[in-house]
Amino acid sequence: MGCFFIITCIIIPGNILVIRAVMRNPHLRTPCNIYIVSLAVTDLLLGVMYPLYNVAHLEHVPEVSRLLGQWSVCRFLLTEVYALGISCSYHLVAITVTRYVAIFYPLRYQSYVTTKSTKYTIFTIWVLSHCTCVLMFTLYKPEKYSSRYVGVCRYELIFSVTHAIILLTIQVFLPVLIMLTLYARIVRVARHQAKAIALQERVLRNKCDRSSNAFNFIRRQELKSTVMVSVLLGFFISVWTPMIILFFHQITCVENCVQSPFIRATCRILLYMNSAVNVFIYAGRLPEFRKSIQKDITKLQKYLCFCRQEF
């Protein structure tokens, strides 16, 4: 639980800083950054709900298991945790699509990816992710269909393999397939564009062509955003892989199953870290985020020093 507490102390203030950076700086309110803000909100809520869901696993603490092990409470926790997980996955899909449009249709990007269409897409992601989980966890009755439900709010003790396959297909397999398919094309074109930019810069090194330089700057910014999203995608896949393996082992194992609590906790911590690492990816890859967050941290430090002097 100590690791979850430490990660939570990174997720909550970190994502607040990301949200604050975009909300306070009009030049950061691009469609891609609006997706990042919505993703940060998702990570922020996960920073609250996921530790609470893991507290519900404490079967050796009767006071906790009696309260959080009730199906009405457990269903709410499961619905929120997995709805936020699905929302996170499809935010990455949406960001990947914007990178795809920016790379393949740069002249039409401004008309295709607008603030209005971005907000509509975000609204659709939030609504569909929650509606999907409400249906999945409302229609299923663990007392009637699962003999393994023992009053502890742990997904693998309640649901069947079929239910897990459907959930993981929606939450992980389908979005990863879409993102990998798009990135297979994006990387190929991005490499070609990076070489073209380098060649143009060598040709124009001794010339003063401001329009070409401005165009190259925009393309470099697009390539940087593409690299950032590829890092997000890579980390997303790496943290979900061990969790999926553990997931199916727990559900399919019937007799003589001895699972290490250390391995189970490690997989959950890795998955939870995804919401914390996203903050460092934004701040580390994009200079505008880094500068804005540094300003907020400096202001906070000055405020704390002032309060300390007052007392």
Question: What distance in Å separates the CA atoms of residue 84 and residue 271, rounded to the nearest whole number?
Answer: 13
DSSP H helices, the chain, are 2-24, 31-55, 62-68, 71-104, 109-112, 115-139, 142-145, 155-158, 161-168, 174-203, 210-252, 261-285, 287-310
Most confident of 97-101, 140-144, 251-255: 97-101
Instruction: Please report the pLDDT score of residue 219 as a whole number.
Output: 53
- CATH architecture assigned to 2-310: Up-down Bundle (1.20)
Task: Write down the mean pLDDT value for the chain.
Answer: 76
Instruction: Please report the pLDDT score of residue 86 as a whole number.
Output: 93
Most confident of 70-84, 136-150, 237-251, 295-309: 70-84
Reported as a single tens digit per residue, the pLDDT across 9-43 is 888 888 888 888 888 888 778 888 888 889 989 99
pLDDT band (50, 70, 90) for residue 306: low
Average of per-residue pLDDT across 272-281: 76
pLDDT > 60? residue 209: no
Average of per-residue pLDDT across 131-135: 92
Question: What distance in Å separates the CA atoms of residue 295 and residue 60, rounded to the nearest whole number?
Answer: 45
Question: What distance in Å separates the CA atoms of residue 268 and residue 262, rounded to the nearest whole number?
Answer: 10
Least confident range from 125-129, 176-180, 222-226: namely: 222-226
Reported as a single tens digit per residue, the pLDDT across 48-102 is 898 888 887 776 776 776 777 788 888 888 899 999 999 998 998 998 888 888 8
Instruction: Please report the pLDDT score of residue 174 as a whole number.
Output: 92
Average of per-residue pLDDT across 100-122: 86
pLDDT > 70? residue 310: no
Reported as a single tens digit per residue, the pLDDT across 167-199 is 888 988 899 899 888 887 877 776 665 555 555
Residue of 253 and 8 predicted with greater confidence:
8
Question: What distance in Å separates the CA atoms of residue 129 and residue 171, rounded to the nearest whole number?
Answer: 9
- Write down the residue that tokens 């009767």 correspond to: 62
Instruction: Please report the pLDDT score of residue 1 as a whole number.
Output: 61
Structural tokens at position 183 = 């990135």
pLDDT > 60? residue 47: yes
